[in-house]
Structure 1
């Protein structure tokens, strides 16, 4: 069977492709930038061009596909999909039987369309994957300042997060796409422990062998610094709320990764060891 992976060159998508290829499945990788695919995807993967924001570009991508991994946004600005009903129409028409949706929410356009298709007895099963904070966010937010100055500057040093390894998200997606019994479920995905920001800095310092200083910013200092990076007010407000008022689901450890994949979730210490070079001067 052919499994379609959308966002195939992204943080999670490329790892979903890896998992499926290693398990011997035929994979079709959808990307807006096929020329970049050869740099991050295994040899032999079928790469097709397409944009989830433009369902007309997806017709050939779904041809002959029996399972699909979908994301809920399009473009570098992570804008949510607005034409979810058209995508699901293609899914149903192609005869896709299993779908995973990464990082969605029950009231999103794509998710609503999938729910409606399920109610119409189309034979489609779909599963919502809801990871908490990605461990890979550490690269995005900290690598530059640690590499250049040996410092992490953030507010809310005692906030807890049950952050999850991106490879575990991919492993769950692959297991759901190729296994039975997951239809209609929502899987919250976490790592094996909840860590404070201070603890994350300590773990990262141990993994890299670099002395890393944590400077705790006040909320106002954080807002000012984020503005200096060119962040918009909407993004800044989101960060303040997400970091300052992390919902319980964000710091509550659940065993979903092990239940679905059969092996324990990876720790942040393991992630830090794998990416230590990116933080060293």
Structure 2
């Protein structure tokens, strides 16, 4: 994989993603709103492209010729978490780089105080699955709620943990998993809930990815999900799904 675009590169996880990508020998490009600020945060080896996920500005230039995309962006409403992903897919215009998308555990389950955010993250997942590019979706647990001895990663599926259950994972483990997914054949077309567990960090992620269930292509859901179905989404989301499918280059 030659060129990878990091979206959310200046965030607490995005910075670690950039370091992991550089360690893999990738040429890294970052979509940033403020180039001067980003240059103080990111390594000189990272190419900066000015743009904004919330408006779509700069996306076409940022995505031109990339082989992979890692999205670690986040917001508190649909503008970034859903509409931003939709803008990325439209800007790709049928190109199919490998995509690694970070969302959250609990996106198929939560209906109370976190419901709005989680709903839009879940719907963004559906768009990525519908688009047709190779992808992996990572749903991490609570950032930095792991213990000092929980250095190994744990992959689960089915979205069975309530958001109020503060199962933790390190930011470094999230970044590692997202980047390993870009380079792993076994990670393609799969959705993972990610937590920390006792032990040392695994050296080889391929067996972990390979053991996972593939996603439900018809329902545009993660493997083993039993939450909100595609038929339960608002009509505008189902319309967006069909529009994204129509962008595929045959």
On whether the aligned pair clears a TM of 0.5, the verdict is yes
C-alpha separation between the residues in 2 aligned to 1:192 and 1:258? Answer: 15
Given the alignment, which residue of 170, 176, 180 partners 2:181?
Answer: 176
C-alpha separation between the residues in 2 aligned to 1:79 and 1:61? Answer: 17
Alignment correspondent of 2:85: 84
Q: Secondary structure at the match of 2:185?
A: coil
Alignment correspondent of 1:146: none
The count of corresponding residues between Structure 1 and Structure 2 is: 177
C-alpha separation between the residues in 2 aligned to 1:183 and 1:174? Answer: 12
Residue 77 (structure 1) shift: 11
Alignment correspondent of 1:2: 3
* Unmatched runs of 5 consecutive residues or more in structure 2: 109-118, 147-163, 209-250
Alignment correspondent of 1:11: 12
Q: Secondary structure at the match of 1:167?
A: helix
Given the alignment, which residue of 178, 187, 191 partners 1:186?
Answer: 191
Q: Secondary structure at the match of 1:69?
A: strand
Alignment correspondent of 2:217: none
Q: Secondary structure at the match of 1:186?
A: strand
Alignment correspondent of 1:62: 63
* Unmatched runs of 5 consecutive residues or more in structure 1: 119-123, 138-158, 194-252, 264-281
Change in Cα spacing, 1:125 to 1:189, as seen in structure 2 (3 Å) is same
Question: Does the 8 Å contact 1:2/1:66 carry over to 2?
Answer: yes
1:213-228 alignment, distance < 5 Å: none
Given the alignment, which residue of 110, 115, 137 partners 2:124?
Answer: 110
Q: Secondary structure at the match of 1:9?
A: coil
Question: Does the 8 Å contact 1:69/1:101 carry over to 2?
Answer: yes
Alignment correspondent of 2:143: 134
Change in Cα spacing, 1:85 to 1:161, as seen in structure 2 (3 Å) is closer
Judging by fraction of residues, say which structure has more helix: 1
Change in Cα spacing, 1:257 to 1:171, as seen in structure 2 (3 Å) is same
> TM-score, normalised on structure 1?
0.54
Alignment correspondent of 1:235: none
